[in-house]
Amino acid sequence: MRKFSIRPTLSLKGRTFKGLRGWSGKPLHPPLTDFPIVAYIFAAGFDVVSAIGGKNHAWARELWHAGTFTFIAGAAVSVFAALTGLWDARKSSQAGTQARRTINTHATIMLTVTVLALADVAWRLNGYHTEPVTPISIVVLSVIIALLVSVGATFGGTLVYDYGFNVETAGDSPVWHKSETDVLPGQHNETEAPS
């Protein structure tokens, strides 16, 4: 029996293109959210350790700079995550539902995070060359951003895992039947009967 299935996951063939939302079964928003979440949490960690290390350690300055680069990268991807998420919500949910209220909560938290992250980046760039370690005020802002992005991600997870938001269920898909044949999106395996 085969142990791996690769091609169907990586294929866009048979999938419907949905603009900024991505393709059916391959939305753009979820993978774009992972990087900013990790970036903000790591950058906050770098900042805390930098501030604790103090001015007498060269590595503390390196962590201050690493946190800055990490925040810049996270903020850049966060803008794209926000755009795809807003488009996704606009096209896939109805006002007045619990799902829409949860989307609104998630979006409000994540947009706040994005604005705070952009402010954090601007503040960092202002002191990048003059500060020997992460200033305490930036540490506080970074930790707030890391906490908020974690809470916002929890609401995003609820949308997917509790509500099944935008999860295109396969129903009785042949991928759950024993078979040596991989089924591509939009295709059905007619050679082997379900077991």
pLDDT number for residue 173: 59
Average pLDDT over residues 102-114: 94
Q: What's the rounded mean pLDDT across residues 8-29?
A: 81
Per-residue pLDDT tens over the stretch 128-173? 999 999 999 999 999 999 999 999 999 999 888 888 777 654 445 5
Does residue 187 register a pLDDT over 90?
no
pLDDT at residue 36, rounded to an integer: 96
Residue 168: per-residue pLDDT: 59
Which tokens sit at 73? 């990268």
Residues 66-75: pLDDT tens digits?
Answer: 999 999 999 9
The whole-chain average pLDDT of the chain stands at 86
Which of 52-78 are b and which e, b meaning 16 or more Cβ less than 10 Å from the residue's Cβ? ebeeeeeebbebbbbbbebbbebbebb
Question: What number of CA atoms fall less than 13 Å from residue 32's CA on the CB side?
Answer: 21
Return the H-helix or E-strand segment holding 135.
none
Check residue 59 and give its pLDDT: 96
Q: Which one, of 114, 22, 17, lies nearest residue 75 by Cα?
A: 114
Domain spans in the chain, listed from the N-terminal domain onward:
27-166
Arithmetic mean of pLDDT, 38-48 = 97
